[in-house]
Amino acid sequence: MAFTGKRTPEGGAYLAIGTAGGAGLLSALVIWEVLTDPSVIATPVIQEITWLRVGGFDLTFGIYLDQLAVVMLAVVAIVGTLVVIYSVGYMHQEGPTRPRYYAEISLFIGVMYGLVLASNYLFLYIFWELVGLCSYLLIGFWYERPAAAAAAKRAFIVTRVGDISLLVGLIILFTQAGTLSFSTLFDEAARPPIDPGIFTLATALIFGGAIGKSAQFPLHEWLPDAMEGPSTVSALIHAATMVKAGIYLVARTYPLLIETPDALLIVAAIGGITAFLAATEAVAANDIKRVIAFSTISQLGLMILALGAGGYVLAVGASGESEGYTAGIFHLLNHAFFKALMFLGAGSVIHAIHTNDLHAMGGLGRTMRITATTMMLGGLSLAGIPPLSGFWSKDEVLLSVYSAGSVHGLFYLLWLLGLLTSLLTAFYMFRLWFLAFSGKPRAGHAGKESPPVMTVPLLILGSLAAISGLILLLPNGIATFLHYSELGLGTGPTVAPFDRLTEIFAEPLNLLSIGVGVLGIGLAYAVYARGWIARAPFATGGLGRIQTMLRERYYLSWFYDAVGTYGMYGLARAVDWFDLHVIDGVVNGVAWVSVRGGRSLRRLQTGLVQAYAGMIVIGVCGLLILLFFLLPALGWS
């Protein structure tokens, strides 16, 4: 596309759609075969070839297909294809830059396929880095804008911290086990014994890679700034590619993590903290895309929390199965649909009125009915309102965390953070919706609906956001298909749909979660739609200072910039001074001594024979004194 896009319609858009759709079709064939006959992946399907042979070490390259990979294939195939189709309308005005856009976004989708299918950690890491490269290129797509260029660099540099952590963890794992192959590492009997302390360190460092890629605390600051790229890029990054890569890494590493309960406590704690912090920051954001970005960080935190909680219960032997694993990946699947919907909906709004500022919007529900309706579905799903998809998976997440509280009290606190996150999620998503679509237009015009090439993907994603969660109720649904036990991934027990439904709505914690979501929507309606609660108190006094703190993202960006400016820059200046005055000083000092010594010795070259003879006599006398007097006096013979 980079070479032929200028000679094809829409800058290579249809070629990109064809390649994304073709990959999606192949993925659909795999998914269909697995769903119709789950026994084909009763054990992982592994196909490998030898890529490089060094001595007795074979480096293989291949695919590793199991239930987790199938779920990720569905996410990448559906979201990736719809985003590329939507791009035809959204990027229509970009002109000569479109071939570069379609080349980069096609590469992005391709390397994500490679990441989820890789059969060992080395090739996963190669695709992991390519995902980072693609995100850098696409976040900075409008590189002529200083903010976009800065955001791309920020994303690239911050995620490098996590990437280095992942690399060090993999190096430790390789030096201890002698392999990076999933099939060997995940088989405790086949894997060489590893010291528990070193093993915990390796798994914690691997999780560090997920902290960077999936924007978890404290490396989450890059993601809101990444909104400087096109909305289509934001949808792809948040729903199907980059940030989902971190969740996939944690889930893929589950067989190792469940052997290190201390590492899983770290995983769960970081997930819970991230979910709550990002939700509070979303409440005060005024950029429509940044609100959704904070929401992504928060929901990713819930996924990490569920994976950590479920893994810890399994690690300490309190249960033979991990409900948190199923809940976390189920939420990843549902989140992909409603988060892609929200970003593409935001893109539709921006495309219509050319502003990201929520306070400059309003009244768009009258003229952009499809966008408003589909974003309403996405907001309700995010808020966890039944029967939309977010309800089924979010409540499973909270239940799995609460259940883990009986094993370790920390999880009760993390469950409470998750519940508060649910309240804030409902509030900020409907704050966004009411500011954008209700009331009177505040942008000078009410805009107009986007073309069908943009609204059709919204309708498809809206439908998925409404119904994807219902697979939980199928006899062989997600809880059966994506079942993780002490034996690893496999199929779980079949549950009748009515029994499952009764179980869900008979659970008081689920009813509490629904009530919290309704309360959040009601508060947003009272403040931003009806004005029953004045907004003034939120901008003045103590609440005003809190709001400022939230808009400044708890001053973490300021702190990181200060560390970079005064810490790292100061360290660099100190190192520079040491280099100039100590390292160079020693080198220059040796040169100075050599030059001055040479000049002094040069004076001895007089050309007079008698002077040279006198120097010889003095030297011989000195040797005689040394040999016959000084050395014997020192006891040397």
Residues 140-155 pLDDT 10s? 999 999 999 999 998 9
- When pLDDT is cut at 50, 70 and 90, the band that residue 576 belongs to is confident
Q: Where are the domains of the chain?
A: 1-159+218-252, 314-543, 552-601, 606-637
* Range 589-622 burial, b when 16+ CB lie within 10 A, else e: eeeeeeeeeeeeeeeeeeeeeeeeeeeeeeeeee
Average pLDDT for residues 263-270, to the nearest whole number? 95
Residue 103: closest CA among 239, 3, 226 = 3
CA distance 329 to 388: 17
State residue 445's pLDDT score: 66
The average confidence (pLDDT) of the chain is 88
Q: Which residue has the higher pLDDT, 488 or 127?
A: 127
Residue 50's DSSP bridge partners are 60
Residue 251: closest CA among 106, 45, 70, 379 = 70
State residue 542's pLDDT score: 60
CA distance 99 to 7: 9
CB 127 within 8 A of CB 115: yes
Q: What is the pLDDT of residues 182-199, one digit of tens each?
A: 999 998 888 888 999 999
- When pLDDT is cut at 50, 70 and 90, the band that residue 637 belongs to is low
CB 318 within 8 A of CB 407: yes
State residue 570's pLDDT score: 81
- When pLDDT is cut at 50, 70 and 90, the band that residue 50 belongs to is confident
Q: How many CA atoms lie less than 13 Å away from 412 in the CB half-sphere?
A: 5
pLDDT at 82 over 70: yes
21-35, 364-378, 531-545: range with lowest mean pLDDT: 531-545
What DSSP string describes 351-368?
HHHS--BGGG---TTTT-
pLDDT at 2 over 60: no
State residue 580's pLDDT score: 86
Q: What is the pLDDT of residues 591-633, one digit of tens each?
A: 888 888 888 777 777 777 777 788 888 888 888 887 777 777 7
- When pLDDT is cut at 50, 70 and 90, the band that residue 107 belongs to is very high
State residue 490's pLDDT score: 82
What DSSP string describes 424-469?
HHHHHHHHHHHHHHSSS--SSS---PPPHHHHHHHHHHHHHHHHGG
Residue located via tokens 């909104």: 227
- When pLDDT is cut at 50, 70 and 90, the band that residue 502 belongs to is confident
pLDDT at 501 over 80: yes
Could you say which DSSP state residue 583 is in? I
- When pLDDT is cut at 50, 70 and 90, the band that residue 72 belongs to is very high
pLDDT at 58 over 80: no
Which are the contacts of 36, defined by CB distance < 8 A and separation ≥ 6?
A: none
Q: What is the pLDDT of residues 227-256, one digit of tens each?
A: 898 999 999 998 888 899 999 999 999 999
Which are the contacts of 92, defined by CB distance < 8 A and separation ≥ 6?
A: 10
Percentage above 90 pLDDT, the chain = 57
CB 253 within 8 A of CB 293: no
CB 185 within 8 A of CB 119: no
State residue 459's pLDDT score: 95
CB 491 within 8 A of CB 483: yes
pLDDT at 384 over 80: yes
Q: What is the pLDDT of residues 320-338, one digit of tens each?
A: 888 999 999 999 999 999 9
Helix (H, G, I), strand (E, B) or coil at 221: coil
pLDDT at 540 over 60: no
State residue 57's pLDDT score: 73
Average pLDDT for residues 508-536, to the nearest whole number? 87
State the virtual CA torsion across 133, 136, 140, 143 in degrees, nearest 10: -60
- When pLDDT is cut at 50, 70 and 90, the band that residue 302 belongs to is very high
State residue 5's pLDDT score: 52
State residue 403's pLDDT score: 94
Q: What is the pLDDT of residues 416-444, one digit of tens each?
A: 999 999 999 999 999 999 999 988 887 66
State the virtual CA torsion across 535, 541, 542, 544 in degrees, nearest 10: 50
State residue 620's pLDDT score: 87
- When pLDDT is cut at 50, 70 and 90, the band that residue 477 belongs to is confident
Q: Which residue has the higher pLDDT, 60 or 173?
A: 173
- When pLDDT is cut at 50, 70 and 90, the band that residue 535 belongs to is low
State pTM to two decimals.
0.88
